[in-house]
Structure 1
Amino acid sequence: METTLELRLTYWVYLNGIRFFGPGRAELLAHIQETGSISGAAKAMEMSYKKAWRMVEEMNLEGKSPYVVAKKGGKEGGGTALTERGKAVVAAYNRLDHKLQALLKEEQELLDLI
């Protein structure tokens, strides 16, 4: 049996000592931006709509300002969109993630020592 070593990093932003924002919520917001709907994002993540809606509601209520807003109906129908704050949060999270993943690649030497 071949041994596989892998270096992983998991991190979250905590709000008042409670996990508030991390990889799952970042992915959810990215899918909302891509699909224009919470249900489309939930399907893309194989998550229930109820759970996705709850996550959006928590981010909107506990963040400095809402991350997701409902779009009015019309010819194209309704849906949801990220606010400027939501887009900025996703962009900042992705920048941090890129930097941390690059750091992990630089530190792969640790795996050679184990």
Structure 2
Amino acid sequence: MGQLQKLSTVVRINVTNPASENKSAFGPGIAALCEGVRNQGSLNAAAKSMRMAYSKAWRIIKDTEETLGVQLLLRDGAHGSTLTEEGNRLLDAYLTLQQRLGEEAEKLYAELVR
């Protein structure tokens, strides 16, 4: 087996709003943050698990919401946060795209380097 067959692909997806002047996008980092909120029930806990300051996580969420024109989180003060219905749909679509395109990229790469 040649060295090229031992390598693998990495696909990075970004969801953007072409109508926005802001360049923020829903990508791997914000997806991980949203997954953390989904699994842990709070933005603060999600940020801590990523070794990120809460203020930075909050700014990322706000910037992304503004850019996409979609509210991602429902905030309930001291009781934590949850993803909105649109936030859940966007995260699910993103994760599915990431998985399917990653699998397809691996297949295509294997074909191209044989």
| TM tier relative to shorter chain | 0.7 to 0.9
SS of structure 2 residue aligned to 1:14: coil
Give 5+ residue unaligned stretches, structure 2: none
Aligned residue type for 2:27: G
| Matching of residues 3-82 of structure 1 within 5 Å | 5-15=7-17, 16=20, 18-71=23-76, 77-82=78-83
Aligned residue type for 2:92: A
Q: Deviations over 1:78-111 (max 9, x none)?
A: 1111110100100110111111011022123267
Q: Name the CA shift for 1:48/1:5 in 2 (closer, same or farther; >3 Å).
A: same
SS of structure 1 residue aligned to 2:52: coil
Aligned-residue offset at 1:34: 0.9
Q: CA separation in 1, counterparts of 2:13 and 2:101?
A: 10
- Higher relative contact order, structure no. (Cα contacts within 8 Å, ≥ 6 residues apart): 2
Runs of 4+ in 1 over 3 A off after TM superposition: 110-113
In terms of fraction of residues, the more helix-rich structure is 2
Question: Is the deviation greater in 3-12 or in 28-37?
Answer: 3-12
In terms of fraction of residues, the more strand-rich structure is 1
Question: Is the deviation greater in 82-91 or in 12-21?
Answer: 12-21
Among the aligned pairs, what percent are the same residue? Answer: 28
TM-score (norm 1): 0.79
**Contact 1:70-1:79 at 8 Å conserved across structures:** yes
TM-score (norm 2): 0.79
